[in-house]
A and B are shown apart, each in its own frame.
Chain A
Amino acid sequence: MDLSERGFTLRNVSVCHNDRAILSGISCSITPGKAWGILGRSGSGKSTLLRLLAGLEVPDQGEIFLDGKLVSSGGKIVARPAQRNIAMVFQDLALWPNLTVLENVTLGRHGADMEARALRCLEQCGIRHLALRHPDSISGGEQQRLALARAIAGNPSYLFLDEPFNGLDLEIKQEITGYIARLAAENRITVLLVSHDPFEILRLCGNALVLEQGMIAGHGSLSTLLENPESGVIRAFRDVIDAASGSACPGYGHPPGRRFHAPAP
């Protein structure tokens, strides 16, 4: 494993919660520039992996490197999340209800032009007019966009998305995935998406990391993984896409008949 390469490098990383192994000795690289989908069944360790990479959780064993620098090692965080140039959109969005939309974006961030930058991000996400409202007074789609604006306001290199589309209707999901794809391209952000929905993964990600029972069951280009499915997760993933592409409901706008239409890495 080349530690000098850019992106995340995990070496023999293990995490246990209450004596139960969540991740068992995983080693892999997550290179920048390509969007990654993290796939796996419930409880396979997807969200834990994301929190580990973000520095929100401490690995029990192993080391995590970012751009060749050690950021976490067994039992301790070497570089705090704010030092990793990462942003994250949480499953419940984690918006602070007593702060305004603008304050949600600016809190904890410094710099003379912070407010202007925050407003620019709100503009990019199409919610600048809501800057002085409180998050609980805006719609679900707008809350989603606020979470995105808050994430990109720090000019991150990586954007972690932890199942952020749960509970959204298809239309808003379409709109938000479109936003993410555009923002990632405009701001040169590498997206890491945890999702159970094959179409979300297919729409946003060119690469995939497959977890099964806390271990890596697949890693690399999504198209290659789908062509040669070795894990049950990928096989199930492919079956869903096959079924959708053969049906009258093509789901997320993938043309019927075109299998494994993953974006080019």
Chain B
Amino acid sequence: MSVSALLLERPGRWRPAGLAALIVVAMLPALPLFLTLFQGPDLPALKAARSFAPLAARSMATAAAGGLVSLLVGGFAGITQCLYRFGLAALFRFVMLLPLVAPPLLWAVGFRNLCRWHPGASFLFSGWSGMVSITAITGVPLVMLGTIMACNSIGNSQCLAARLAGGEKTLLRLVARQVFPVSLLAACLAACLTLSVPGPAMALGVKSAVSEILLSFSALYNLKLAALQSLLLASGVMVVMGAAMVFAGSSPATLLVSVPGKLDRIHHRGMSFAALVFHVAAAAIFVLLPCAGLVGPAFSSPFYPQVVNTVARTLGNTLFYAGGAGLLAAFMGILAVFFMGRFNKYRVAGFCFMAVIIALPPALGALGFAAAAAHAPAWADLLFRGGVSVCIVQGLRLFPFAALAGARFFASMPPSWVYAAEMQGVDFWLYTRKVTGTALLRIMAVSFLTGFLLSAADAGTVLLLHPPGAQNLPLAIFTVMANAPAGLTAQLSLVYIAAAALFLSAIMALERGLSPKRINNRPG
């Protein structure tokens, strides 16, 4: 069937309808959770949920403090990486992105070990202050990444004008003002993400909101209480994200998809040196320090057979959950890009909903699926009680990352390509295959790998949904953390970080060659 390539550029009611359908599908796993609440009042659960509120507020305050630190550190790191040339910048970017693709639990284990060796470090790295540090560790790469993407919207001439007007100080102020909405959103997102992860709190011996939800479901077997607590936490997240999005306005949707490659980094004696020192310090505090907490115990007592055994036992499940989630996320992400197209209003609406989807606690979807599984017929076991359920819940939650990568790729192709195709009689399928084919495959690979890594790092969803005996590696670390020797946990954590580093380098290599080359009508 001949479909016009203009489909990619034309507006239509199918765009908002498709986008809305996608958002509804992504929220679907949480639906059964709402339904359980409508089955009748449960006064003890309500009472217990009320006592949960102060804990949720405390968790949110901690997350906010961590978010603020990540905003300052990640924002400055992102801006300096875009504006200045300094030694080993690419390596620093890689090192500082690592915490994003490894479970926060691992860094918390590192901090816990560090505090055991040097009790003086407890002031910063244990208890609630440790939670702030973990939120900052997860948040810094997210804010840095968002800031770098937003910096792409700034041109060389704008930088030059700012420099002429008032030097580097003026430039930094103007760039910070330009990228602030995106950095702020990323910081809020990072705070919400850490808020929903149970591992770090348990490793640092803190009673957090999400660990309480886990307790209600797994230890007390009270789904209704867990549902109420999840919804309370989700309401808080929605308020924070809503306020951040209202403040940020529509600019993040435009800034995040701006075409890269316009800004040339310069070598400025003072600023390049400052950037280098800042990156050394940030990488040392946020990555190397927790890693040191893992390396020490890992090499002091060898547990190699147990490590090999645990990795071998969990490798298949880790790959299956992450692979399934990555595939679903990539597919949904490309669909989202197709529906949003180049239309800013759809992008703004789409990314707002997607930001909420990512920010919502993963427990919401996982518990919803668990509630549905309780009533599902036997023939649906594969879907509701098998490993597929983990893939579905994670994939539906992580697709916005794939959508963002896809939207950036789409924005880098000028609309005139489609117009030229239509003039030449090239239909949609031929255009997709021949003109965008190679790059599309690449973006699918980047989306898949991003979904894969983020999903592999999630222990919470797997904990709630995995079939008996089918743990993934982060969950195995989470399980052995309390009782096993510190050396074993540390070695398993290092194995995970090494594998994540490999995957991250693959993503970065693919991303580097992603943007299609633009051709300008200037003499070459």
Contacts and interface: CB of A to CB of B under 8 A. Distances in A.
B421 interface: yes
Contacts of A116: none
Contact of A138 (B419, B427, B524): B524
Given A94-B417, A98-B435, A54 B519 contact: no
Contacts of A139: 523-524
Interface stretch (A65-73, A167-175, A234-242, A254-262): A167-175
A135 interface: yes
Nearest to A154: B424
Nearest to B419: A56
Given A54-B423, A56-B6, A98-B516, A107 B434 contact: yes
A141 B522 CA distance: 7
Highest count of chain A CB atoms <10 Å: which of B4, B437, B438, B519: B519
Contacts of B516: 97-98
A143 B521 contact: yes
B435 A81 contact: no
A81 to B, nearest CB: 5
Contacts of B519: 92-93, 95, 97, 135-136, 143
Given A94-B416, A108-B427, A168-B521, A82 B422 contact: yes
B41 to A, nearest CB: 49
Contacts of A172: 523
Overall SS of chain A's interface = loop
A103 B423 CA distance: 15
A128 interface: no
A81 B423 contact: yes
Nearest to A156: B423
Contact of B420 (A55, A90, A143): A90
A77 to B, nearest CB: 9
Interface in A80-113: 80-82, 86-88, 90-99, 103, 107-109
A58 B9 CA distance: 12
A4 interface: no
Contacts of A95: 420, 519
Contacts of A188: none
Interface residues of B, number: 30
B49 to A, nearest CB: 46
B521 A167 contact: yes
A80 B420 contact: no
Contacts of B438: 98
B418 to A, nearest CB: 9
A108 B425 CA distance: 5
Contacts, number: 105
Highest count of chain A CB atoms <10 Å: which of B10, B423, B437: B423
A51 interface: yes
Interface string A32-63: 00000000000000000001001110100000
Interface in B134-155: none
A150 B421 CA distance: 11
A40 B420 CA distance: 24
A144 interface: yes
Contacts of B522: 140, 167-168
Contacts of B424: 82, 107-109, 150, 154
A205 to B, nearest CB: 20
Contacts of A99: 434-435
Contacts of B518: 92, 97
Highest count of chain B CB atoms <10 Å: which of A56, A103, A154, A164: A56
A94 B420 contact: yes
A51 to B, nearest CB: 7
A91 B4 CA distance: 22
B304 to A, nearest CB: 47
Interface string B496-524: 00000000000000000000111111111
B521 A107 contact: no
A80 B422 contact: yes
Nearest to B434: A107
B439 interface: yes
B426 interface: yes
B485 interface: no
Highest count of chain A CB atoms <10 Å: which of B416, B417, B424, B430: B424
B145 to A, nearest CB: 26
B205 interface: no
Given A90-B420, A109-B425, A140 B520 contact: yes
B414 interface: yes
Contacts of A168: 521-523
A166 interface: yes
Interface in A219-242: none
A93 B521 contact: yes
Interface in B416-470: 416-417, 419-427, 430, 434-435, 437-439
A182 B311 CA distance: 72
Highest count of chain B CB atoms <10 Å: which of A87, A90, A164, A166: A90
A256 to B, nearest CB: 28
A138 B523 CA distance: 9
A136 B522 CA distance: 11
A164 B521 contact: yes
Contacts of A136: 517, 519
A164 B416 CA distance: 12
Contacts of B435: 96, 98-99, 107
A166 B419 contact: no
Contacts of A86: 423
Highest count of chain B CB atoms <10 Å: which of A55, A87, A93, A109: A93
A253 B438 CA distance: 46
Nearest to A169: B523
A90 B420 CA distance: 8
Interface in B1-60: 4, 6, 10
A88 B420 contact: yes
Contacts of A141: 523
B421 A108 contact: yes
Nearest to A137: B524
A91 to B, nearest CB: 7
Contacts of B419: 51, 54, 56, 88, 90, 94
13 contacts: A51-B419, A56-B6, A86-B423, A87-B423, A90-B419, A91-B521, A94-B420, A96-B420, A96-B435, A108-B421, A108-B425, A109-B424, A139-B524
List the 9 closest A-B pairs by CB distance, nearest first.
Answer: A108-B426, A94-B416, A140-B523, A82-B425, A94-B420, A139-B524, A90-B416, A97-B517, A108-B425
Given A92-B416, A97-B517, A97-B518, 20 more contacts: A51-B419, A55-B422, A80-B4, A82-B423, A92-B520, A93-B521, A94-B417, A95-B420, A98-B438, A103-B434, A108-B421, A108-B426, A108-B427, A109-B424, A135-B519, A136-B517, A142-B524, A143-B521, A150-B420, A166-B521
Interface of B: 4, 6, 10, 414, 416-417, 419-427, 430, 434-435, 437-439, 516-524
